[in-house]
Structure 1
Amino acid sequence: MSRRCCDRHDLRGKVMGIASCGQLACPGPTATVSIEFGHRRRGYDRSTMSTSQVQLSERAMERARIAIGGVFFLVGLAFGTWAARIPDFKRDLSLSDAQLAVAFVCLEGAAVAGLWVGGALAVRIGSGPAVRWSIPLFAMALAVLGFVPGLGALGATVAMFALANSVIDVAMNAQGVVVERRLGRPLMSAFHAMHPIGGIVGSAVGALAAHQSVDRALHLPMVGAVMLVLSFVIGPRLLPGKADRTDGERSGDRTGRGWSRPLVLFSVMAFCMTFADGTANNWSAVYLRDVLHASPGVAGAVVTAFLAAMALGRLVGNRLVRRYGAVRVFRVAALIGGLGLAAGTVTDQVAGGFLGFAVFGIGASVTLPLTLAAAGGLPDVDTARAVARVSMVGYVGSFVAPALVGGLTEDAGLRVALLLPAALVLATLPLAHCLREADSGPCDVPGAR
Structure 2
Amino acid sequence: MRTVTSLTEHPHARHRLAAGAAFFVQGLLFISLTTRLPQIQRRWDLDELAVSGLLLLVVLLAGAGSVLAELVAARSSSAVVVRLGFVLATVGFAAALLAPAFGVFVAGLAVYGLALGIVDASSNMQAVTVEHLYGRPILPSFHGFWTAGGIVGTLLTLATAGTELGVRLLPLLLFPVAVLAAPFVTKDRLPSPAAAAAVPWRRIVLLGLAMVLFYMVDTAATTWGPVYLGGTLDAPERLTALATLPYLVATLIARGLGDGLVDRHGAVWMLRLSGVVASAALAVIVFAPTWPIAVAGFTVLGGAVATIAPLSFSAAAAIAGGDDFASSQDRVDQVIARFNQFNYVGALLGAVLTGAVGSGNLRLGFAVPMVLILGIIPLASQFAIVRRRVPAVAPSS
TM (norm. structure 2) is 0.82
2:220 aligned residue (279, 293, 299): 279
Which deviates the most, 329-338 or 353-362? 329-338
Letter in 1 for 2:212: F
1:434 to 382, 385, 394: 382
CA distance in 1, matches of 2:227, 2:55: 17
- For 1:252 and 1:89, the matched residues in 2 are separated by 48
Which is worse superposed, 128-137 or 97-106?
Answer: 97-106
Picking from 274, 296, 304, the partner of 1:333 is: 274
The verdict on how the C-alpha distance between 1:301 and 1:331 changes in structure 2, with shifts beyond 3 A counting, is: same
268 and 88 in structure 1: CA distance in 2 versus 1, 3 angstrom threshold = closer
Aligned partner letter, 1:175:
Q
> Which residue is 1:171 aligned to?
122
Point out which structure has higher relative CO (alpha carbons under 8 A, 6+ apart). 2
Sort the Cα spacing of 1:226 and 1:438 in 2 relative to 1 into closer, same or farther, 3 A. Answer: closer
Aligned length: 370
Cα pair 1:327 1:432 within 8 Å, conserved: yes
| Mapped contact 2:82–2:118 kept (Cα < 8 A) | yes
Distance change in 2, residues 1:286/1:210 (3 Å): closer
Correspondent of 2:70 among 92, 99, 119: 119
State the identity %.
Answer: 25
What amino acid maps onto 2:70 in structure 1? G
Tell me if 1:362 matches 2:310: no
Equivalent AA in structure 1 for residue 169 of structure 2? H
The one-letter code sitting in structure 2 at the alignment partner of 1:403 is V
How far is the alpha carbon of 1:315 from its aligned partner?
1.2
The 3-state SS of whatever aligns with 2:99 is coil
Contact 1:309 1:361 in 2 (8 A): yes
Please report how far the alpha carbon of residue 110 of structure 1 lies from its aligned counterpart in structure 2 after TM superposition: 2.3
Aligned-residue CA RMSD in angstroms? 3.0
Aligned CA distance change for structure 1 residues 400 and 120 (closer, same or farther; 3 Å) = farther
SS across alignment from 1:97: coil
Query: Structure 2 unaligned runs (5+)?
Result: 1-8, 323-327, 390-397
Take 1:107 and 1:437, find their aligned partners in 2: how far apart are those partners? 31
2:16 to 49, 65, 69: 65
Match of 1:254 in 2: 196
Letter in 1 for 2:117: S
CA distance in 1, matches of 2:165, 2:298: 33
- How far did residue 337 of structure 1 move? 1.7
CA distance in 1: counterparts of 2:359 and 2:93, whole angstroms: 34
Q: Which residue of 1 aligns with 2:186?
A: 240
Runs ≥4 in structure 1, deviation > 6 angstroms? none
Aligned partners of 2:35 and 2:154 also within 8 Å: yes
1:191 aligned counterpart, secondary structure: helix
Q: 1:322 to 1:116 in 2, by over 3 A?
A: same
- Confirm or deny that 1:196 pairs with 2:196: no
Q: 1:267 to 1:344 in 2, by over 3 A?
A: same
Match of 1:398 in 2: 347
Q: Does 1:135 align with 2:86?
A: yes
The answer to whether structure 1 residue 208 and structure 2 residue 159 are counterparts is yes
Q: Tell me how far 1:132 sits from its aligned partner.
A: 2.6
After TM superposition, give the deviation of residue 372 of structure 1 in Å.
0.8
**Equivalent runs, 1:401-420 vs 2, <5 Å:** 401-409=350-358, 413-420=361-368
Distance apart, 1:430 and its partner CA: 1.2
Task: Measure how far apart 1:318 and its partner are.
Answer: 0.9
- 3-state SS of the aligned residue for 1:149? coil
- For 1:37-76, list aligned pairs within 5 A: 59=11, 61-76=12-27
Distance in 2 of aligned mates of 1:206 and 1:293:
18
Change in Cα spacing, 1:155 to 1:215, as seen in structure 2 (3 Å) is: closer
For 2:382 and 2:341, the matched residues in 1 are separated by 19
